[in-house]
Each structure stands twice: as structure tokens, then as C-alpha cells.
Chain A
């Protein structure tokens, strides 16, 4: 009995898998080979037939052994002293000492910034809230020191500017001698004489300069 396209389509999987009775397979082959519509099925059947001629390959020699070695082989056992010796030799490297020194230095810097006293270290010092407070205190102290320094600078510059005002025009300001020697008072200028208020301030500043500045402003 010859097959039709509809029959072949309906039983395509069984045909391609070769699961039909031998007589049906032969009839289906005959139809598929001659029918242009079913030629694709016939080519597929030939391809499968070829594929199934391939013998399974043998696995490469030693592959199983390698797999077993990778999975169940026990790790090599080393004695305690061998491990200790390796660690000690590693510690003797100069770079290890440098790294440790750098780490200690960094730690000291950080602890200092956090206002932690390393010598009298207590467990409470490492409490995060205490670290935070220490860091805050350090920040305020640093700010206060900076502010004080700026204010001092302002005072000094103000005194210098006043001194320059008190110095007569065309006359050099009093030379400062090394060793903290006192300078003779500068002669009063005409302008200072004309203005008793300026003159008094100039006198006071000159006295201040003679007493304090030669040692401080040089």
C-alpha cells in the first residue's frame, strides 16, 4: 500500500524515529523519496540514519582518573612545623615589615584623630559613640587653634599698621636690632603734634613697641 502526504505528516515523528513497522517504513520511504512535498522528511530520515552510524567515542585515557583526583583526592597533609616555618619565612621579608610599619602608622594617625589614648586604652574607648565624641572634640580644638592663630595675626598686623601711622613721613621706621635691644623713641611728627589724640596713641604704641615688639616682631 502506498502512503499519502497526509499519512506521512500524521506519523512524521514515528517515521523519523523509525518506530513504524518495517513494511510501513518501506512504504513511507518510497512515498517520501518520490514526493517533492515530502522530500524534506526523506532527507531528515537519511540524516538521522547517518547520525546513528556514529559510534560513541571512547573517553580520553586518564580522564576518569583526573576527574576523581579533582573531586575526591584528599588534600596534602603538612606538619605543623612545616606550616609554621613557611609562615615565619614569609614574615622575614622586608616588605612585610614595611607593610606592618605603614599599618601601625596609619592606625596611630586614625586613633590620634579620634582622640584615643593608646597607652591607657580601655574597652570603652573603642565604643563608636566615644570615638565619635573624640573626633568631634579634636575637630573643635583644631578649629579653635586655627581661629586663635588668625586673631593673633590680625592683632599683630593692626599694631604694625598703627606703628606705621605713628612714624613721621619721610622717616624710616625705627630699625630693629637683633638681640632684643630697645630702639630709641622716634621723634614726633608735625601731624602727630597737631592731633593730640593721635599723638597720645602714637606714644602709647611706641612704648608698646619698645617694650614688646623688638623681641616678638622681628
Chain B
């Protein structure tokens, strides 16, 4: 069933339709939150908060303004920026190493153990580098390169012109390249991709 139909039924009080939306988008929203914050517990809490807000404000969604997925990303992004502002002081006193404890994700197909360890380290390092980007550049890179949104959709999510979106993504990618290039095996990444 299409999102527009699910939303229409949700507005009519259909809890099954709402459950369909939650099950379709929880993973995407959780990944968005996790990549932005770098912390699992924070990401989980923020994901809950995103869906609570979506549930309360579903009536304000206008299908003519864009897809439901883009609207959901916009709600999530706004909450993440609120979270970033609220925790700014705290972050100033906590070192980056303390803030980013560990990453444990594994690729879907179980690779040999040595490769698993290498990928775990890679994920950790990538997440650290992402978290070092400024929030404007970080959100743009995450939406484009991890969430796979188009430039036009990112422009709708962030509420800025498409040219500014491209500029931020390019700056974010360049900054990420500078942060990662000292890592041994950086160029091997191309072969993995």
C-alpha cells in the first residue's frame, strides 16, 4: 500500500495503517538518528520522539508538498538539530573518544572473522569522522550518501535551495576525505565499494 493511502487511513483512526508506517520507517529513522548522534541510546530515544511527533502532527502533512518519506525526514532532522543545540554545552566538556564509545554493526552476509574486525574498525572510524563534521555538513552528507535522498528531496527536508544543498554536500565530503586520508588502507575503500 502506498504511503499516501496509509496516511489517509491513519488520519481516519486506522491503527493498522499507523503500524504499517512505523514498521516501514523505523529502521530508516533509527539509522538517520544514529549516524547523526553516533550513540545508540540517543538514537533510540530520538527515533521514538520522531514517531511521537509524526503521530501528533500527521494532520499537518500535505501530500502536495512532497512525499511522506521526505516529510518524515524533515521531522527527524528538526528533532536532531534541537538535540544538537540542547547538548552543545555537554559536548564541549566531553572528549570525542568518550562520546563515541563503540560501533558494533556487522555486514548482512557474515564475512570471515578477520574481515569482520576490519569492517568494525572501519565503521567506528567513519562514524567518528562523521561526528566531527559540523551539523550542517553532517546532515547533508548523511541524507545524500547514507539515506540515499536526491538533491531535490534534501532541499525539501532542509528547507534550503538545491545549490546550497550541493555546496554543503561537497564541503562535507571534502572534509570527510581530509579526515580519513591518513587512515591506512584508505584507498582500499574504493575497491570495497
| A binding-site residues for B, Cβ under 8 Å | 12-13, 16, 29, 40-60, 63-64, 66-68, 70-72
A43 and B106 alpha carbons, distance in the complex (Å): 25
A64/B180 in contact, CB under 8 A: no
Tell me how far the C-beta of A49 lies from the nearest C-beta in chain B, rounded to whole angstroms: 4
Contact A54 B173 (CB under 8 A): no
Take A12-B170, A16-B170, A59-B27 as given contacts and tell me if A46 and B145 are in contact as well, using a CB distance cutoff of 8 Å.
Answer: no
A50 and B122 contact, CB distance less than 8 A: yes
Q: Which residues of B lie under 8 Å from residue A49 when comparing CB positions?
A: 189-190, 192-193
Q: CA separation between A40 and B27, bound complex, in Å?
A: 33
Q: Is A67 a contact of B51 with CB atoms below 8 Å?
A: yes
Q: Mark B83-96, 1 if CB is under 8 A from A, else 0.
A: 00000000000000
Cα separation A60 to B48 with both chains bound (whole Å): 11
Shortest CB-to-CB span from B47 to chain A, Å, is: 6
Which residue from chain A places its CB closest to the CB of B48 in the assembled complex?
A67
Q: With A55-B105, A57-B34, A60-B30 known to touch, is A46 a contact of B190 (CB < 8 Å)?
A: yes
Q: How many B residues face the partner with a CB closer than 8 A? A: 47
Query: B141 at interface (Cβ–Cβ under 8 A)?
Result: yes
Please name 21 pairs of A and B residues whose Cβ atoms are closer than 8 Å in the assembled complex, sorted by A. A13-B166, A40-B177, A43-B177, A45-B190, A46-B187, A46-B190, A48-B176, A50-B186, A51-B176, A53-B189, A54-B146, A57-B31, A57-B34, A59-B26, A59-B30, A60-B40, A63-B47, A67-B48, A70-B51, A71-B18, A71-B52
Give min CB distance, A41 to chain B, whole Å: 8
Q: Please name the residue on chain B nearest to A72 by beta carbon.
A: B15
Going nearest first, the 3 A-B pairs with the smallest beta carbon separation are A43-B177, A49-B193, A44-B173
Nearest residue, chain A, Cβ from B180: A47
Contacting residues, chain A, for B166 (C-beta < 8 A): 13
A59 to chain B, nearest CB (A): 4
Cβ-defined contact, B170 with A13, below 8 A: yes
B123 and A54 within 8 A (CB): yes
Q: Are B52 and A68 in contact (CB under 8 A)?
A: no
The interface centre, meaning the residue of A13, A67, A68 with most chain B CB atoms within 10 A of its CB, is A67
- Taken together as a complex, chains A and B put the C-alpha atoms of A57 and B108 apart, in Å, by 9
Nearest-neighbor residue (CB-CB) of B171 within chain A: A44
